[in-house]
Structure 1
Amino acid sequence: MRFASIVALMLASASAPVPAPGPATGTPAPAGVPGETPGTTDTGGSPTDDSPGVAARPALPPFAPRLSELPLLTRPQGWQSAGQAGWEALIAAGPANRQAARWAYANAQIAQGRAQEAIGALDVMRQDEPDLMLVPAFRLALGATLAKLDRATLAVDALTNDALTDNPEACAWRMLAFARGGLAGPALGQVNCAVPALNARAAATRAPFVLAAARAAADLGKPALTIQLLETLPDRDPAANLLRGRATVALGDEPGGRLRLGRARESGDYGQRIDADLSLVELAARKGDLNGADKATLRRIRFDWRGDDIEVRALRLSIDAARRAHDLAGTLEAGATLFRYFSGGADRTALITELQQTLAQLLAPDSPLPLDRIAGLYWEYRDLAPAAAAGDLLVSQLADRLQAAGLYERAGELLDHQLRVRTRDLAQGPLSARVASLFILAAQPARALSAIRDTDTYAYPDEMLWDRHRVEAVALDQLGRTTEAMAVLQTVPDAATIRAEIAWKHRDWKTVAADAPPSLTGGARMNSVMQARLLRYATALAMLGREGDLAQLRARYAAAFTGLPTAAAFSALTDKVGAVDPAALSAAMAAIPSASPAGGIADLIDAAPEIVSQS
């Protein structure tokens, strides 16, 4: 409790507003800072600024010049612990010596390995006096603290200073920061400079630095140097034995390496035991395919362990194992995890290329996986798809296969993601029409309408706009909003034909009968579209009982139907209403050609499932 109150008091004294003393108290005002005009504040306020509730912080005398004159430490013994006296000095410090008390406190925390406490004091000092960043001693303390906290980039930045380039203590902390930041080469480059500071440390405090240097050597493929650097550490140190074991194997002594790894597994903590198990699996993988026990160990490690280099190594090993087994799904799973959570590692570009090629193999027509499984895997790893045209082609081909298999909703969702995430500008026009068509076929007209209207932000060319309106009208009709669908078609050139097609599907005989029959000129024979249109017209007249119109139709077109397969159907439909046999009428309607004047949109209208209107 006492320690917590000290830290709270230190922070409060640095940042809390201090009320200005009133004349009645008899307390003299704080001494002015050299160079400031009496009556001004450090926030730029004028003597007349009387903002209620805001009091100026007391200005502290500059500490940077004083700190610059102190000898720059080069050995760990320079971090002096003030003990209880230092805490009490911090509590009792006034404005004149507050920065000095904070500095002594921060030094004490660094000496005792308490980086969290040290960074609090150093940050407060820097906030009150930014010029401290110009002082090498302050940068050394800040860099050492940040390195201890594994903030590698910030630590290297703080320790990058001309006065610290050849400072052994700074070199030691730079080496640690570089190694923990994954920069093995620069880390090894600091070793020679850091040797005096490392030799001045006790074995326990020297170990983290030596291990960092040894890991850097191992990462650079220098097993002999790794073992040499570890000579100063105890033979039973499990962390050192992990590195010794892998280095010994790399030097060709597999039994000796296995022994070291086994010792680390026996005496290490949980993380070190996991590391030893993974190292043994890596050794087996280098000799060939993994056996069942090795694969089980790898699965357990990936299930139990998250983060740091152990998971990265396990993921790389999983990718290699899946690649050897031609397991496309396994390659994608491990590779995607490495890419998403570890940025792909050092060989990010090569990893992305491999994953994109794997995804392309997965989507290939000769893929052995079922189509629904392929679609699910693509959806799960869609962020790995190639960019631009190559990725668009993969999606389009997969959507074609899903549509051909009748998986309209899956195909629509796939292209809908493409529409909203990858496609921009005018390219959204034709794609939105296709997405809407797929959702219509999947009995999802609301989603079809959303695909059209959510992309209604560009001035599309007329042809593209008409295609969108046609599909939109079908979706509206499927929702039971037929009147609105007819309104959408007003500007479409073939609106009348589409309206007739919709009316035919709904058995709206009045609307079908309102469509004028086609005219024959030059004695041309009727094509299937004209036959369908005339037979539909005759059906509507028959259903409405308009015998006069039927007689006129029969007289006008009977000769044209002579010799056609639909002649009997035309004859049955245009016969007198009372003489028509219901069975013959049904047969005649069934004989109407499937060709439609509405073209491709007719197929969509005909295939669209009926939806019960909710409006």
Structure 2
Amino acid sequence: MKLSLLLLLAGASTAGVPRGSSQAPLAPAPLHVQMPKSDTAARSEEAKAVRAARFPGFAPELADMARINGPQGWGGLTRQQALEALGRSQPTTRQAARWGYAKTLIAQERYADAWGVLDVMLKDDSDLALVANFELARGVVLAALARPKEALTALSREELGSNPEACFWRARALAMSGRDEEAQREVGCARAALAARTGAQRVPFLTELAKAALASGQPERALRWLNAAPDADAAANIMRGRAHLAMDDFGRARIRLGRAERHGNEEQRYQARLALIDLAVSQRTMALPQARSEVDHIRFVWRGGAIEEQALRLSYKLAKKAGDEGGAIAAGATLVRYFELGPDLPSLLAEIQTRLSGLLAPQNKMPLEKAAGIYWDYRDMMPAGGEGDRLVVQLADRLQAAGLYARAAELLEHQLRHRALDVAQGPLSVRVATLHILAGRPDRALKAVKDTERTIFPQEMLWDRARIEAVALYQTGKKEQALAVLEDVPGASGLRAELLWKRRDWNRLVAESAADLPPPEGLTEVRQAVVLRHAIALGMLGREGELARLRSRYAAGFAGLPTAPAFDMLTQNPTSVDADNLSRAMSAIPAASPAGAYADLLDVAPSAPSAPQRK
């Protein structure tokens, strides 16, 4: 039979074989194979298919056929006979020929190919989805391809409730999904289908049930299930070995696992080897470093599936035993991120979060840079709620105290974008912006403020954000914008005066600071700075009358202060103040600023343009 004829008749292609299959199709799988869609999308597709059905009419014929209730229902034709029937088919018999071919593929355990044929049949007549035999075939194929959730959807039709073949595959899919008790309840219904299979055909079903029994803490029951499997079967021996391990029967466990390692396929040999390593470590016949090295090697050469999951679980266990917190977190996080852990997920995630909390706690002696790296690598694993927020803030405090402003900013920026909600973004955005300015990255500071401006904040918080925004704008050279942002902010006159002082904008500085001139008594360093700056601005503008009034008001207050000579020189005869005298007077002004902590931020020199942000 020419391949071109098959492609024409079956609309076939090797594309679209479902994930999870290790088979290489002997026959082409039909075109347009797609992963299952959402209910809404599926209904839309079905409606389109009804209008565009190419080969309608087979669904009633299939519904009239005898129900398939055991493995014998899939046979009847050889693959060659099925292909020849497909080649001879006409449009009116095309779907029937495809059905015969799909059944033959299922009987030969060529499930990936069968999935493709069934998918094309459904696209050519959506009514097939209403036929019990057709949904049974789809459920069988999906379960065999390790897609249990989708398999259970197909196998849960009312008409299949007491069908032994459906019960057989439903039990297997439930066991794969970790629904162990439900799987056990299907066994009575599945017995006839189990008995109709050969020993080798029973093994996948029996091993899944044995796994479910082990997960339920019933190793004796697991061994009873495996009595029906061939004694030399590697997959069954792996499960037998695990059952003996659970019963502390180490000798029998070693024998069963050793036989599987000797005679199994590559995947089974790795499964057996990992179990033997676990046993050897528990009995202290293998050193922990050697065991960890072997497990790491297996993880390196085998990626994905049950092997990698088993290796990661053992790696996690061995790392804990060795006291390697970083190694345990790395293995556990990989499991959580990439594997369907079922009921184990909450407990494993809680363990990882506890370990992260211990590593990131202030009392931990781990170098600060390493602790920050661990947080960044596992930030998606951090505890939720207040505990996680507290750990992040503590780590940011330590980074800031060590002068690692950029690292602290990035850490809190992730918190700002991914964890903080609503009003909590206000104070956090101010701190992130402050750290970016201290790191010499005012552009990043502006972004932290702008990216959170859609949130509705209390008025006080809006003013705090405006102040830090003004500093960032000034640092990026947008000095007029910085002053404009502070225009209506209460209590911002000191910061505005600082900006004007740095710009040497004497006219506006006089106007700004006039209202903030302090009383003449009790001149603190900040108050001295305000008066002296005001005096310099008046002198630069030649306003002698205002200087005289300033001298009269504050002469007594400055008497005896270290800044008294500077005040006297600036206010006694301003025309005699030359460049040298002015320089000495400015040097005498106290370092304290009316802008408070913002003055220190204004003095930070911006660095080179920021590198792209970490994702």
Give the structure-1-normalised TM-score. Answer: 0.82
Alpha-carbon distance in 2 for matches of 1:181, 1:84? 36
Task: State which drifts further: 92-101 or 105-114.
Answer: 92-101
Q: Aligned pair in 2 of structure 1 residues 287, 590: CA closer, same or farther (>3 Å)?
A: farther
Which amino acid is 2:314 matched to? L
Q: CA deviation at 1:591?
A: 4.2
1:275 equivalent to 2:271? Answer: yes
Q: Aligned pair in 2 of structure 1 residues 550, 159: CA closer, same or farther (>3 Å)?
A: closer
Cα offsets for 1:233-259 (capped at 9, x unmatched):
444433233222222333333233223
Length, aligned pairs only: 576
Pick from 466, 477, 480: which aligns with 2:477? 480
Cα offsets for 1:122-150 (capped at 9, x unmatched):
33333444444444333333322222222
Q: CA deviation at 1:340?
A: 1.0
Tell me the equivalent position of 2:360.
Answer: 363
Alpha-carbon distance in 2 for matches of 1:443, 1:413? 13
- Extract unaligned runs of 5+ from structure 1: 17-40, 46-55
Alpha-carbon distance in 1 for matches of 2:158, 2:219? 33
Which amino acid is 1:177 matched to? A
> Residue 217 of structure 2: SS of its match in structure 1?
coil
Pick from 406, 418, 421: which aligns with 2:418? 421
Which amino acid is 1:154 matched to? E
Alpha-carbon distance in 1 for matches of 2:609, 2:315? 52
Q: Aligned pair in 2 of structure 1 residues 577, 611: CA closer, same or farther (>3 Å)?
A: farther
Q: How does 1:387-398 map onto structure 2 within 5 Å?
A: 387-398=384-395
Q: CA deviation at 1:443?
A: 0.8
- Give the number of the structure whose alpha-carbon radius of gyration is greater: 1
Contact 1:436/1:448, CA 8 A, preserved across alignment? yes
Tell me the equivalent position of 1:383.
Answer: 380
Tell me the equivalent position of 1:121.
Answer: 117
Pick from 577, 597, 603: which aligns with 1:600? 597
> Residue 595 of structure 1: SS of its match in structure 2?
coil
Cα offsets for 1:522-541 (capped at 9, x unmatched):
x6332332111122334556
Q: Aligned pair in 2 of structure 1 residues 588, 262: CA closer, same or farther (>3 Å)?
A: farther
Pick from 367, 372, 397: which aligns with 2:369? 372
Q: How does 1:241-390 map onto structure 2 within 5 Å?
A: 241-287=237-283, 291-390=288-387
> Residue 347 of structure 1: SS of its match in structure 2?
helix
1:403 equivalent to 2:400? Answer: yes
Contact 2:128/2:134, CA 8 A, preserved across alignment? yes
CA RMSD of aligned residues (A): 3.6
- Extract unaligned runs of 5+ from structure 2: 13-29, 32-46, 611-615
Which amino acid is 2:207 matched to? L
Q: Aligned pair in 2 of structure 1 residues 600, 128: CA closer, same or farther (>3 Å)?
A: same
Contact 1:336/1:381, CA 8 A, preserved across alignment? yes
Higher relative contact order (CA 8 A, sep 6+): 2
Alpha-carbon distance in 1 for matches of 2:497, 2:221? 85
Tell me the equivalent position of 2:172.
Answer: 176
Contact 1:75/1:168, CA 8 A, preserved across alignment? no
Identical-residue share of aligned pairs (%):
47
Contact 1:80/1:111, CA 8 A, preserved across alignment? no
Alpha-carbon distance in 2 for matches of 1:42, 1:161? 23
Tell me the equivalent position of 1:6.
Answer: 6
Q: CA deviation at 1:559?
A: 1.8
1:147 equivalent to 2:177? Answer: no
Alpha-carbon distance in 1 for matches of 2:223, 2:423? 63
Q: CA deviation at 1:589?
A: 4.0
Tell me the equivalent position of 1:497.
Answer: 494
Tell me the equivalent position of 1:230.
Answer: 226
> Residue 419 of structure 1: SS of its match in structure 2?
helix
Pick from 87, 92, 101: which aligns with 1:91? 87
Q: Aligned pair in 2 of structure 1 residues 200, 7: CA closer, same or farther (>3 Å)?
A: farther
> Residue 491 of structure 1: SS of its match in structure 2?
coil
Alpha-carbon distance in 2 for matches of 1:58, 1:299? 53
Q: CA deviation at 1:341?
A: 0.9
Alpha-carbon distance in 2 for matches of 1:561, 1:42? 91
Alpha-carbon distance in 2 for matches of 1:456, 1:383? 25
Task: State which drifts further: 439-448 or 187-196.
Answer: 187-196
Contact 1:339/1:345, CA 8 A, preserved across alignment? no
> Residue 476 of structure 1: SS of its match in structure 2?
helix
Alpha-carbon distance in 1 for matches of 2:411, 2:70? 62
Q: Aligned pair in 2 of structure 1 residues 519, 502: CA closer, same or farther (>3 Å)?
A: closer
Which amino acid is 2:330 matched to? E
Tell me the equivalent position of 2:19.
Answer: none
Tell me the equivalent position of 1:24.
Answer: none
Which amino acid is 1:453 matched to? K
Q: CA deviation at 1:457?
A: 2.0
Alpha-carbon distance in 1 for matches of 2:253, 2:560? 92
Which amino acid is 2:66 matched to? L
> Residue 346 of structure 1: SS of its match in structure 2?
helix
Contact 1:479/1:613, CA 8 A, preserved across alignment? no
Q: CA deviation at 1:566?
A: 3.0
Q: CA deviation at 1:581?
A: 10
Cα offsets for 1:457-505 (capped at 9, x unmatched):
2454432222222211211111112122222222223454323212334
Which amino acid is 2:6 matched to? I
Tell me the equivalent position of 1:434.
Answer: 431
Cα offsets for 1:571-608 (capped at 9, x unmatched):
455566798798887665444333322233233324x2
Tell me the equivalent position of 1:208.
Answer: 204
